[in-house]
Amino acid sequence: MKDDKYIEELLERYYDGLTTEAEEQTLKEFFTCEETPVHLQAEKAMFLQLAAEATPKGMEQRLSSLVDEWERQEQNTTSIRKRSRTIRLQWIAGIAASLLLLFGIGRYLNEPSSKYIAQDTCATPEEAYAETQKALIMFSTALNKGMGQLEAMHRVDHKINQTFNELKK
């Protein structure tokens, strides 16, 4: 006869789901073959009931397909939530951009138009003439300087072409 303490430990492990098939077989043999101590009678009834319940044929396959179906539904739901969140954010961004545009247009239309018109800087036509002459002289100087550099580049280019043609011969 197996030690009662050993059987009690096996039962505790069995209820925790930690037993091996060999240990479960030991428990089954103990409760079916031997006389069971009085303090283990309730455990015997419980164990025999649990051991007697066999899984119906196809139950594991049906449960597996059901779990797979739930997983597919969850993925679809998650996908739909992500899409709806994206669409919602696009709508919010579009509304915000529209409001910003309308606000900017409103500010532009409410400002006095003189703010955007150039103000005269010269008090008399003579001052304006003098300022125009200064600007044209500055422009002419810059243009002449650029033309001088362009001529220097033409000379360098001409020398390079001559050297190249001489080497080619």
Q: What is the pLDDT of residues 109-163, one digit of tens each?
A: 887 665 555 566 778 889 889 989 999 999 889 888 888 888 888 888 888 888 8
Q: What is the pLDDT of residues 30-83, one digit of tens each?
A: 877 767 777 777 877 777 777 666 566 777 788 888 888 888 888 888 877 778
Distance, in Å, from the CA atom of 135 to the CA atom of 141, rounded to the nearest integer, reads 10
The set of residues, in sequence order, having a beta carbon less than 8 Å from that of 13 and lying 6+ positions away, is: 19, 23
Task: Please state whether the predicted TM-score (pTM) of the whole model is above 0.85.
Answer: no
Q: What is the pLDDT of residues 79-95, one digit of tens each?
A: 777 788 888 888 898 89
Q: What is the pLDDT of residues 103-114, one digit of tens each?
A: 988 888 887 665
Taking alpha carbons only, the member of 96, 76, 98 closest to residue 88 is: 96
Angle between helices 4-16 and 21-33 (to 10 degrees): 130
Runs of H (alpha helix) within 2-124: 4-16, 21-33, 41-52, 59-110
